Structure 1
């Protein structure tokens, strides 16, 4: 069935079998030694062909269990509202539109000087603001860069240090875009459990001991659960990471400007390559999406190889608009009120649930996570009958489904919060 004398020929032959349908998802390829003997080639030749199949996403290595053909890539769950639904949509994870800045006020402050190829990638005003903002969070000397959001930053950082197929430790359940980015890029997500205090140190230690080469963790307002690192938990994670100084550590502090939780440093001084990513999309809105990235000098240099050319930098008009907002005293006062508003939404919802005998601790961020001990479809259907569209939690699981509901609270008024709590109670007792 198989043919070829070089790694490239063997790869193309197997690829053709996949395309023709003679090899299907889940089919096992022959052991390397066996196929090498059949084709009368060196085992390293077959191993190289198999590695290329894995890197290309056509096959999956199961270690001692061999190499199997992967299935087709089907559409995955994405963030965002269902615009055509007649239900009250609490599934999108979006900020409250009326809490975003009125950008019309700031266009007059944007520079009219054209920025050309070869110019600095970061606008001077935003650079100075970001340096002051990120200084206390950095574990050592670092540099500032700007990317098109947290996911763009994460993807660039991983490609700067890792190879396709490398294992990346991530929280489980995990932010949908993070899961999708890892899978599309060919990295292997390694699930690390979370609880009310954030990522669990013992589970992280296990992932790192098994060879994870990078860690992505959320210090505050974890999506989907809303948990934030406590000071003891951050210290415990720091101790674990200190034992693996070669591992890339990415801290996704996406809710930094709006969080009601304190910042606890988690990156130890021993870590050689690190990055702190702070997105502005929840603060300024998804259409003003950019992220400030503070990283060690070597990592920053790798980022700038792609960002400084001009073809992939973040628009300076966008940067100037963000800086105009963030340097406006009136907007900063409104930002403080928005921070209080989101914290109040969490507390109001917790109080409303408690009236029905449902006891939870308030989280942080735009969403509330309702854990379930069974599949979420039934509860989600009951809430849909009551007029609510919520996000079923299974898609947030890394390797196994996460049973729960993620409910976006950002746009609810007090009456709606009370009704939602009552409807959740009814959904859970059926």
Structure 2
């Protein structure tokens, strides 16, 4: 059989490849990651990233755990594993969760590659394009990314320093018929606030009454400097069958381990496991076994207490210097733990527009606007106080004040004002006071 060659035709311009999925165009990137790329210079005092201080990592203990696992279980540590997670780690996590007030078995848990993956798995398992998700206002940025990437419609629940407003939440649940409500109730990112016990009970009741999943993210809860622990929403009877509790080693051990977990009712947990099989098969075996070995050989709670003490000192250093650095009329939160505090400048300030000038003074923050699912408050910013030591924090705040004055033409503050209460005002004086004026 003779094959006839096609006649030669003039060369045509190649057709473009098919477009990217619509969700990649609408979700956007992380403003925090973008800022970190710009401010990576070592001379910059960076209050932007949510980065634990590497000097406080128990590097020796973690290295010993890896050495032991690789010496004793090399074949297993370097092999594929089950999607749900290594039994030793899940058992240890179940014990820690039970000790903190929510009875948990190993089979109640799914180990994830950081708690960020848990959010992605939940979005895959729960959300259809067009579904509604309720979030706090403001809200953790990467959660907004995950939900938007899944095609969800994200609606903010207004609140105050005690957390989301219960009546506003109830009204939105009835009006919007959301699939889930996402919250970081303890030492929230970005505000540092802690949801009160009464608000937690109201969230649980609203979810039970109207049929709603609660995603309770708790990466910071163990980093408490003062005050009494508030029980998880997952511990409330009304919410037991509809709350997904997320945890992570990133803030208490080391983020490079990429180890998180979710505790969820069985049908949802199984759906997340199927989604995880499609995403990465399983979280790295060696990391899981090393973490389990660390928990068996070391006292993680004692390590966390040391870290929390150091972070508490750094929070105090930031609170002590804010009044001198910020323009008159500024307000800020006073967190009892965690990594962040939230600043609101006078309404005439736009922290996104001011950032380039401030960065020229070798200091950085995260503008508050991207943390809002709805109308942004452009006068806000998030400051992370844990990455630098107190002397670096003081220097960073001095530079921040210079940068704000240069960008906004503000005169220096006439006298220092110290932080108190959930929000701070010019009339407040005692940095350790638990009350705040109502100015």
Per the shorter chain, which TM-score range? 0.7 to 0.9
Q: 1:154 aligns with which of 114, 119, 144?
A: 119
SS of structure 1 residue aligned to 2:359: helix
Instruction: Please report the TM-score for the alignment, with normalisation by the length of structure 1.
Output: 0.75
Q: Does 1:192 align with 2:160?
A: no
For 1:311 and 1:387, the matched residues in 2 are separated by 39
Matched, 1:90 2:47: yes
The change in CA–CA distance for 1:92 and 1:305 in structure 2 (over 3 A counts) is same
Distance 1:340 1:309, change over 3 A: same
Q: How many angstroms apart in 2 are the aligned matches of 1:87 and 1:377?
A: 18
**Residue-by-residue CA offset, 1:182-225 (whole Å, 9 max, x unaligned):** 11111111111242222222232232112111111112121111
| 1:317 CA displacement | 0.7
Distance 1:292 1:74 in 2: 26
Q: Which residue of 1 aligns with 2:339?
A: 366
Give the equivalent residue in structure 2 for 1:344: 313
Between the aligned partners of 1:339 and 1:313, the Cα distance in structure 2 is 31
Q: Deviations over 1:67-102 (max 9, x none)?
A: xxx976654424473354352222111111111221
Decide which of 162, 166, 169 is 1:204's aligned counterpart: 169
TM-score (norm 2): 0.74
Partner residue of 2:8? none
Change (3 A) 1:308 1:379: closer
C-alpha displacement of 1:361 = 4.3
Distance in 2, Cα, partners of 1:226 & 1:352? 18
| Range 352-361 or range 259-268, more displaced | 352-361
CA distance change for structure 1 residues 236 and 121 in 2, over 3 Å: closer, same or farther? closer
State the match for 2:229 in structure 1. 262
Task: For 1:279-298, list aligned pairs within 5 A.
Answer: 279-298=248-267
CA-atom RMSD, angstroms? Answer: 3.1
Q: Indicate the residue corresponding to 1:13 in structure 2.
A: none
**1:243 aligns to what SS in structure 2?**
helix
User: Does the 8 A contact of 1:256 with 1:278 survive in 2?
Assistant: no
Distance 2:284 2:387 in 1: 30
Match for residue 196 of structure 2 among 224, 230, 235: 230
- How many aligned positions are there? 365
Aligned partner of residue 133 in structure 1, secondary structure = helix
C-alpha spacing 1:319/1:263, structure 2 compared with 1 (3 Å): farther
- Which of 270, 274, 285 is residue 316 of structure 1 equivalent to? 285
CA shift for structure 1 position 310: 10
Q: Does residue 376 in structure 1 map to residue 351 in structure 2?
A: yes
Q: Give yes or no for contact 1:395–1:402 (8 Å, CA) kept in 2.
A: no
Query: Secondary structure at the residue paired with 1:313?
Result: coil
Cα offset for 1:233? 2.3
Aligned residue in 2 for 1:114: 76
Residue 106 of structure 1: SS of its match in structure 2? helix
- 2:423 alignment counterpart: none
Structure 2, unaligned runs of 5 or more: 1-17, 412-439
Higher relative contact order (CA 8 A, sep 6+): 2
d(CA) in 1 for partners of 2:97 and 2:27? Answer: 38
Q: Where does structure 1 lack aligned partners over 5 or more consecutive residues?
A: 1-18, 21-55, 59-69
Q: Please give the alpha-carbon distance, in whole angstroms, between the structure 2 residues aligned to 1:371 and 1:316.
A: 44
Deviation at 1:174, TM superposition (A): 1.4
Q: In the alignment, what sits opposite 2:56?
A: 99
Give me the whole-angstrom Cα distance separating, in 2, the residues matched to 1:310 and 1:378. 38
SS, match of residue 405 in structure 1: strand
Deviations along 1:28-55, one digit per CA (max 9) or x if unpaired, are: xxxxxxxxxxxxxxxxxxxxxxxxxxxx
Equivalent position SS for 2:306? helix
> How far apart are residue 119 of structure 1 and its match?
4.3
